[in-house]
Structure 1
Amino acid sequence: MPSFLPDISVIATFALAAFVLAVTPGPDMALFVSRTINWGRNHGFATVMGALTGIAVHTMLVAFGISVLIIAAPAAFWALKIVGALYLVWLAIQAIRDGGGILVVNKQGGKQPSWAQSYLTGLGINLTNPKVALFFVTFLPQFVSADDPSASAKLIFLGIEFVIVSIPVVVATVLFAEWLTRTLKEKAWVGKALNWSFAAVFMTFAATILFAEGRK
């Protein structure tokens, strides 16, 4: 077996944990749905790709120990929390603005973003979420022995596994949002209700992020 491959039992256990995390609602999932509803499936997938790129970045940081330094330094972690919370507050404000780029209310009044902008939005919400950093710093390394000479390679493998396990979940989320758009597009009040609902979701996660604590 190649040195970068964890044991089969570790791969299976981590796959289950990754799936549970992927299906747990969070700001990433809320953004996938809202972008798809507002601008279509392609923008939903562009946002997904941005978030998955963020996961890859977190994996590399953990593999080479940089995230540990961020979480261990109170000032750096606090700055990350503030940036993440402010980003979610901004998304919440956009959600309740007509044509703000979050959900369909008066879509014609808003400027359609480029695919690159949707991608960067997904990347940004993932990278500025300290809950994700905490997960990768505190949870991912538990599947690899610290004295394993191939620890970094195995961490990268597990990060790739996390992305692979997450793909069916996020694809299903985008496709569901596309179906929801076709089903409810004629009911303006539904769009307004969804706008305020997603604004509440983003504000809730912003508050949660502010109370996130680094590992002691």
Structure 2
Amino acid sequence: MIPFHELLFFILAALVLVISPGPNMIYLISKSITQGKKSGFISLIGVVCGFLFHIVMVSFGLTAVLFAVPIAYTVLKTVGIIYLLYLAYQAIKPKSKNIFEVDENGSHDSPKKLFSIGFLTSMLNPKVAVFYLSLFPQFIKPEYGSVLIQSLELGVIQVLVSFSVNFLIILTAARVALFFAHNPAWIRVQKWFMASVLTCLAIKMAFSKAK
């Protein structure tokens, strides 16, 4: 088992990761506000499962193989970039719906779709795998026991931190809808800002390199 004082540093690093703006946070806020807290929670389960995918890959050494083969990393990264650009287009396309606008027509995505998109949003982000690969080795030491168990331990802690913070975000995101309801002039600004953020994330991902 990893000593508690070292786990505290890891928890701090995991907290920094989750509060950093990214596609996961944007997606969760969007669904929480437009479709309600229940939809946001289902989306969060999908995001968490995406984290679990990366954790399993790292724990069993598969991610190391992925990054050792340039074409494998390139394929995953390309899919992620295309997906982010697609989300950016959806934000500003003609007659697009404001992500902060409460859906009053009862038109909600199915739980399966919410979960699937949340899962893909998390899984198709190679930066998550890079984070795990660069951080886990700093806390895992043979003298602490099984390397596999230590890796899974860190993974579980990261998931718990991410789930807790994002759950709080889901609970408070709906309040933003009230602001836009009373300030409609900001809706267009919000759409272009969201599209810009997503595009910047895609560009940043495009220039990222395998470790």
TM (norm. structure 1) is 0.88
CA distance in 1, matches of 2:134, 2:74: 17
Q: In the alignment, does 2:209 pair up with 1:200?
A: no
Shift of 1:198: 1.3
Cα deviations by residue, 1:36-76 (Å, 9 ceiling, x for unpaired): 22211111111111111111111111000001111111111
How many pairs does the alignment contain?
211
Residue in structure 2 matched with residue 33 of structure 1 by the alignment: 29
**Deviation at 1:145?**
2.3
Secondary structure, in 3 states, of the residue corresponding to 1:188?
coil
Identity of counterpart residues, as a percentage?
A: 29
Question: For residues 159 and 101 of structure 1, do their structure 2 counterparts lie closer, same or farther at Cα, with a shift above 3 Å needed?
Answer: farther
Q: Identify unmatched segments of 5+ residues in structure 2.
A: none
Q: Is the 8 A contact 1:80 1:128 kept in 2?
A: yes
Cα distance between partner residues in 2 of 1:194 and 1:30: 12
Shift of 1:191: 3.0
The alignment status of 1:169 with 2:171, answered yes or no, reads no
Of 39, 44, 61 in structure 1, the residue corresponding to residue 40 of structure 2 is: 44
Once residues 108 and 193 of structure 2 are traced to their aligned partners in structure 1, the CA distance between those partners, rounded to angstroms, is 22
Where does 1:96-175 land on structure 2 (aligned, <5 Å)?
96-97=92-93, 103-104=99-100, 107=103, 111-145=107-141, 150-175=146-171
What TM-score results when the alignment is normalised by the length of structure 2? 0.90
Letter in 1 for 2:37: R
Matched residue SS, 2:185: helix
Q: How far apart, CA to CA, are the structure 2 residues paired with 1:51 and 1:102?
A: 22
Structure 1 unaligned residues grouped into runs of 5+: none
Which of 18, 23, 29 is 1:22 aligned to?
A: 18
| Mapped pair 1:84 → 2:80 | yes
Q: Whole-Å Cα distance in 1 between the matches of residues 48 and 98 of structure 2?
A: 20
How far 1:111 moved relative to its partner?
A: 4.5
